[in-house]
């Protein structure tokens, strides 16, 4: 039940934060909150319901009236007359009554034996090999009871569809035929007006028939262009409202003039049900290809906030709260209100999604809708879900919507924009029929066929098991807090368990703790493990009130873990003023979310001692001037410390050493040369060498400091620390000349070498 109940008195508990950071700096505290329908739906429910606004409360008390029907696949229609419930079924067209004498079949179609394929020995192909096995012949009548109703005298009307199409009335314990349409095969809907007139929605020619109260006179009220009329409703204006398939139209028909108007053209294919609540018409529109949602409430998300509810007459404030010193609690005589302590968002804290999104989600392409049509013809959708809507009924201010393929019954309160799954059958696939009789709702299911009575009162006890709460690392579990209204006589119990695997069914999980009542923050007494699961047991009193849980907060504390330096990358910097400088980049991670500082050390490869070049670095990179050390190959170590977030006793460090880095600040040199003259031609052969880096570039110029000419090694490839070059200069004029060489290694260290040449005049 989702109708808000005003708690007479309230006890407000203002709690301290579970793990204040200032008092527990050696660990990381995390509070994970569950406060939305999508989060709660990830758990398991048993006799509790999840509201669309993120609430958990007791479900309605249910009773299985019929667990199994013989030769019945689906319950298509239910009618309650007096103390008897009538059920219409498929595929054998059976009509059953359920009352004080239990279940009775009051109508059965004539069955024909289904022929079985035979082999050459005239044996059934599908006959069991076991000679002692019992053979059961299957029978099918191909008759369906899609629609039933009570006439003006309280007698049962039954529409038979299939190989026979007829309207029958239960008289003297027997179904007697009162009308057989000559151009219809199916009766999908029956409606009775205030004067006793009977209306039939039929197929496959889409006709609506009208009969007098005795069924003696009949006529076609409206001949539509649709194949089937699936639903009918009598409006307070005495008009007939009809829903069709294929085009998903809602018709408004004047029974006096037979004039019809299209009230609404839906985007769905079928209008499966129509009901009135006051002067407003509600229509269930569905598509045959709508499938079960991946998660409940996936198709619809309520808008932020909620409509203001009008107080029931006689509901006054009447009660006064008496505050206690310090504002920690308030006491009343009606019950308890539990609240969760407000906490500052911590680094790394998993934040739950907000209870309400800021706007509705886009309409899904394949979904079913409940439309509200006002007396002026304005249409709005009040509920949608990615499932097939089979049936619709009203109970008080709620709409009951039967769906597939998960056999869920939704209760929708249009005025408050709230909805909840109030019943779910884990054996059946669809809820195909629902009828309301006072405080009870009778639910019919398919695959398999079952009949259940759902009371208006709450179940005495219900259980909610959460999804696994993940601390990220093995953690000490703190306190569980709930925000809840707990009426007088009700209570909420809590139990928990923990494990280190993501599979909730793994045998390594600890045993459930003994349930204990939640009257404030409740300690989670489960072992140190990464995953925790909590269980809430909601207990009612007289069935009229239920605890309502709106939010659950679970606290955990991960012991201090050493930070990790996951990578160290060192690159030589380029650009003006960057000669000889290196950029040290490092990536780190701390599972506690601690503030980290870094120390940078270096050492020459082959040596054991480290030399600190910088401490207490707060950024994720550092520039190092490699000209402060001699040339050579070096390693760089980055050490991360969480001392800023811990005490001297609990601080931890983690480090990582870089790959070898070459520090080379010395340019290459000419280690061998030979100069030869031949007339006006000069040949210079040189060997250029570098201690650490490959030779990068050699250029020459003659009698200039510009116009440099690049040359390649004799082996045509720059690839080693020593290269041979041949420089040929021709057509030199007589006199003194200077040939200059520019030598550079691969990292840009550059030097110059000059040679003087005198060319004699001939």
Q: Is 279 exposed, middle or buried (0-12, 13-18, 19+ CB in 10 A)?
A: exposed
Which H or E run contains 39?
A: helix 37-40
User: Does the structure show a pLDDT above 70 at 364?
Assistant: no
Contact 30, 479 (CB under 8 A): no
Q: What is the pLDDT of residue 8?
A: 29
Q: Number of H helices and number of E strands within the chain?
A: 1, 59
Nearest residue to 729 (alpha-carbon basis) of 719, 718, 738: 738
Contact 274, 241 (CB under 8 A): yes
Q: Is 120 exposed, middle or buried (0-12, 13-18, 19+ CB in 10 A)?
A: exposed
Nearest residue to 721 (alpha-carbon basis) of 762, 749, 741: 749
Same domain? For 50 and 84 the reply is: no
Q: What is the pLDDT of residue 344?
A: 53
Q: What is the pLDDT of residue 145?
A: 96
Read off the DSSP letter of residue 91.
S
Same domain? For 343 and 489 the reply is: yes
Q: Among 414, 433, 456, identify where a domain stops.
A: 456
Instruction: Dump pLDDT digits (tens) for 26-56.
Output: 466 789 999 998 999 999 999 999 988 899 9
Q: Among 641, 663, 685, identify where a domain stops.
A: 663
Q: How large is the greatest C-alpha to C-alpha distance in the chain, in angstroms?
A: 147
Beta-carbon contacts of residue 263 (< 8 Å; ≥ 6 apart): 241, 250, 251, 252, 281, 373, 377
Contact 194, 239 (CB under 8 A): no
Instruction: Dump pLDDT digits (tens) for 87-114.
Output: 999 999 999 999 998 999 999 887 655 4
Buried b (16+ CB within 10 A) or exposed e, 557-580: bbebbebebeebebebeeeeeebb
Instruction: Dump pLDDT digits (tens) for 646-675.
Output: 989 989 999 999 999 999 999 999 999 999
- Residues above pLDDT 90, as percent of the chain: 71
744 in a domain, yes or no?
Answer: yes
N-to-C CA span, the chain = 120
Q: What is the pLDDT of residue 341?
A: 75
Q: What is the pLDDT of residue 27?
A: 61
Q: How many Å apart are CA 102 and CA 96, to the nearest integer?
A: 10
Same domain? For 619 and 723 the reply is: no
Q: What is the pLDDT of residue 658?
A: 96
Q: How many domains does the chain have?
A: 4
CA of 55: how far to CAs of 353, 520, 547, 581, 597, in Å? 14, 18, 10, 61, 44
Read off the DSSP letter of residue 426.
S
Tokens linked to 328: 């920690």
Instruction: Dump pLDDT digits (tens) for 475-507.
Output: 999 999 999 999 999 999 999 999 999 998 999
Q: Among 440, 456, 472, identify where a domain stops.
A: 456
Tell me if residue 645 falls in helix, strand or coil: helix
Nearest residue to 487 (alpha-carbon basis) of 322, 340, 315, 337: 337
Q: What is the pLDDT of residue 406?
A: 86
296 in a domain, yes or no?
Answer: no
Q: What is the pLDDT of residue 366?
A: 64
Same domain? For 448 and 580 the reply is: no
Which runs of E-coded beta strand occur in 646-694?
653-657, 661-663, 669-678, 681-689
Same domain? For 271 and 404 the reply is: yes
The mean per-residue pLDDT over the stretch 369-391 comes to 93
Instruction: Dump pLDDT digits (tens) for 341-350.
Output: 776 544 344 4
Q: What is the pLDDT of residue 568?
A: 97
324 in a domain, yes or no?
Answer: no
Dihedral sign, Cα of residue 517, residue 518, residue 521, residue 527: positive
The mean per-residue pLDDT over the stretch 280-301 comes to 61
Same domain? For 468 and 430 the reply is: no
Beta-carbon contacts of residue 213 (< 8 Å; ≥ 6 apart): 151, 152, 153, 195, 196, 197, 198
User: Does the structure show a pLDDT above 70 at 230?
Assistant: yes
Q: What is the pLDDT of residue 28?
A: 67
- Residues above pLDDT 70, as percent of the chain: 83
User: Does the structure show a pLDDT above 60 at 362?
Assistant: no
The mean per-residue pLDDT over the stretch 57-71 comes to 93
Same domain? For 159 and 240 the reply is: yes
Beta-carbon contacts of residue 214 (< 8 Å; ≥ 6 apart): 178
Radius of gyration of the chain (CA): 42
Same domain? For 496 and 601 the reply is: no
Instruction: Give the chain's mean pLDDT.
Output: 85
Instruction: Dump pLDDT digits (tens) for 623-644.
Output: 999 999 999 999 999 999 999 9
Read off the CATH number of the domain in which 94 is found.
Answer: 2.130.10.10
Q: What is the pLDDT of residue 306?
A: 53
Same domain? For 83 and 143 the reply is: yes
463 pLDDT tier (thresholds 50, 70, 90): very high
Of 160-169, 293-302, 597-606, 608-617, the range with the lowest mean pLDDT is 293-302
List beta partners, residue 166: 160
6 in a domain, yes or no?
Answer: no
Read off the CATH number of the domain in which 568 is found.
Answer: 2.60.40.10
Q: Angle CA(167)–CA(173)–CA(175) in degrees, nearest 5?
A: 15
Beta-carbon contacts of residue 490 (< 8 Å; ≥ 6 apart): 335, 538, 539, 540, 541, 545, 546, 547
Dihedral sign, Cα of residue 121, residue 124, residue 130, residue 136: negative
The mean per-residue pLDDT over the stretch 77-85 comes to 96
User: Does the structure show a pLDDT above 60 at 588?
Assistant: yes
125 in a domain, yes or no?
Answer: no
The mean per-residue pLDDT over the stretch 445-459 comes to 94
The mean per-residue pLDDT over the stretch 224-252 comes to 95
Q: How many Å apart are CA 538 and CA 125, to the nearest integer?
A: 54
Neighbours of 384 (CB within 10 A): 23
Contact 665, 683 (CB under 8 A): no
192 in a domain, yes or no?
Answer: yes
Q: What is the pLDDT of residue 339?
A: 84
User: Does the structure show a pLDDT above 90 at 333?
Assistant: no
**Could you write out the three-class secondary structure of 266-331?**
CCCCEEEEEEEECCEEEEEEECCCCCCCCCCCCCCCCCCCCCCCCCCCCCCCCCCCEECHHHCCEE
Read off the CATH number of the domain in which 689 is found.
Answer: 2.60.40.650
Q: What is the pLDDT of residue 283?
A: 97
Same domain? For 249 and 370 the reply is: yes
Read off the CATH number of the domain in which 486 is found.
Answer: 2.60.120
The mean per-residue pLDDT over the stretch 405-430 comes to 90
Q: What is the pLDDT of residue 127?
A: 44
Same domain? For 376 and 447 the reply is: yes
User: Does the structure show a pLDDT above 60 at 560?
Assistant: yes
User: Does the structure show a pLDDT above 60 at 466?
Assistant: yes
Peptide bond into 609 cis (omega under 30): no
325 in a domain, yes or no?
Answer: no
591 pLDDT tier (thresholds 50, 70, 90): confident
Same domain? For 542 and 657 the reply is: no
Tell me if residue 608 falls in helix, strand or coil: coil
- Parent domain of 703: 669-759
Nearest residue to 336 (alpha-carbon basis) of 218, 120, 482, 531: 482
Which pTM does this prediction carry?
0.65
Q: Is 673 exposed, middle or buried (0-12, 13-18, 19+ CB in 10 A)?
A: middle
300 in a domain, yes or no?
Answer: no
Q: What is the pLDDT of residue 52?
A: 86
Q: What is the pLDDT of residue 296?
A: 38
């Amino acid at each position: 039940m989702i109708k808000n109940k005003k708690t007479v008195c309230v006890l407000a508990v203002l709690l301290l934060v579970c793990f204040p950071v200032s008092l527990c700096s050696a660990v990381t505290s995390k509070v994970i909150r569950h406060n939305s329908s999508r989060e709660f739906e990830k758990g398991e429910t048993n006799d509790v319901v999840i509201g669309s606004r993120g609430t958990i409360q007791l479900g309605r008390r249910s009773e299985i009236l019929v667990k199994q029907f013989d030769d019945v696949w689906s319950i298509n229609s239910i009618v309650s007359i007096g103390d008897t419930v009538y059920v219409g079924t498929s595929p054998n067209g059976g009509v059953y009554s359920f009352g004080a004498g239990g279940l009775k079949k009051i109508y059965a179609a004539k069955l024909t034996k289904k022929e079985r394929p035979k082999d050459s020995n005239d044996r059934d192909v599908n006959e069991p090999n076991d000679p002692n096995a019992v053979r059961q012949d299957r029978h099918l009548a191909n008759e369906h009871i899609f629609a039933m109703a009570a006439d003006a005298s309280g007698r049962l009307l039954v529409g038979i569809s299939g190989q026979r199409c007829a309207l029958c009335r239960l008289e003297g314990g027997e179904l007697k035929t009162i009308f057989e349409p000559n151009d219809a095969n199916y009766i999908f809907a029956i409606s009775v007006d205030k004067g006793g007139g009977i209306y039939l929605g039929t197929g496959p020619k889409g006709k609506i028939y009208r009969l007098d109260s005795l069924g003696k006179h009949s006529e076609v009220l409206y001949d539509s262009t649709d194949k089937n009329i699936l639903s009918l409703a009598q409006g307070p204006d005495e008009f007939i409202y009809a829903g069709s398939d294929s085009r998903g139209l809602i018709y408004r028909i004047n029974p006096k003039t037979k004039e019809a108007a299209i009230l609404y053209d839906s985007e769905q294919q079928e209008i499966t049900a129509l009901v009135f609540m006051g002067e407003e018409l509600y229509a269930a529109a569905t598509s045959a290809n709508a499938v079960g949602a991946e998660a409940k409430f996936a198709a619809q998300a309520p808008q932020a906030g909620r409509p203001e509810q009008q107080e029931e007459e006689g509901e006054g404030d009447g009660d006064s709260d008496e505050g206690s010193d310090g504002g920690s609690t308030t006491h009343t005589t009606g019950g308890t209100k539990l609240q969760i302590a407000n906490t500052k968002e911590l680094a790394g804290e998993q934040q739950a999604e907000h209870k309400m999104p800021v706007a509705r989600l886009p309409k899904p392409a394949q979904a079913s809708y409940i439309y509200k049509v006002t007396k002026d013809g304005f249409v709005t959708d009040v509920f949608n879900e990615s499932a097939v809507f089979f049936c619709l009924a009203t109970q008080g201010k709620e709409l009951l919507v039967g769906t597939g393929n998960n056999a869920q019954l939704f209760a929708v309160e249009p005025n408050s924009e709230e909805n909840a799954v109030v019943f779910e059958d884990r054996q059946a696939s669809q809820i195909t029929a629902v009828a309301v009789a006072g405080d009870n709702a009778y639910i019919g299911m398919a695959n398999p066929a079952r009949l259940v009575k759902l009371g208006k009162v709450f179940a005495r006890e219900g259980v909610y098991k959460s999804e696994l709460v993940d601390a990220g690392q093995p953690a000490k579990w703190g306190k569980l807090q709930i925000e809840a209204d707990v009426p007088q006589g009700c209570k909420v119990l809590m139990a928990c368990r923990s494990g280190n695997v993501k599979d909730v069914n793994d045998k390594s999980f600890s045993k459930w703790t003994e349930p204990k009542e939640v009257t404030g923050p409740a300690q989670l007494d489960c072992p140190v493990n990464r995953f925790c699961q909590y269980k809430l047991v909601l207990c009612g009193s007289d069935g009229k009130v239920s605890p309502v849980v709106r939010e659950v907060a679970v606290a955990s504390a991960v012991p201090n873990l050493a930070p990790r330096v996951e990578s160290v990358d060192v690159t030589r910097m380029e650009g003006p003023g960057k000669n000889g400088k290196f950029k040290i980049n490092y990536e780190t991670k701390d599972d506690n979310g601690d503030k980290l500082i870094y120390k940078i050390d270096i050492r020459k490869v082959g040596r054991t001692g480290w030399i600190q070049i910088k401490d207490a670095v707060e950024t994720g990179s550092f520039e190092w001037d490699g000209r402060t050390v001699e040339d050579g190959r070096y390693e760089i170590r980055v050490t991360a410390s969480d001392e800023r977030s811990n005490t001297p006793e609990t601080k931890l460090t983690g480090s990582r050493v870089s790959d070898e880095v070459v520090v080379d600040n010395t340019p290459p040199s000419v280690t061998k040369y030979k100069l030869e003259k031949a007339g006006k031609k000069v040949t210079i052969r040189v060997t250029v060498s570098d201690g650490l880096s490959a030779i990068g570039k050699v250029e020459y110029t003659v009698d200039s400091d510009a116009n440099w000419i690049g040359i390649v090694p004799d082996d045509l490839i720059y690839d080693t620390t020593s290269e041979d070059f041949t420089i040929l200069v021709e057509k030199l004029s007589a006199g003194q000349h200077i040939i200059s060489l520019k030598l550079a290694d691969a990292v840009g260290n550059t030097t110059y070498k000059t040679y003087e040449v005198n060319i004699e005049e001939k």
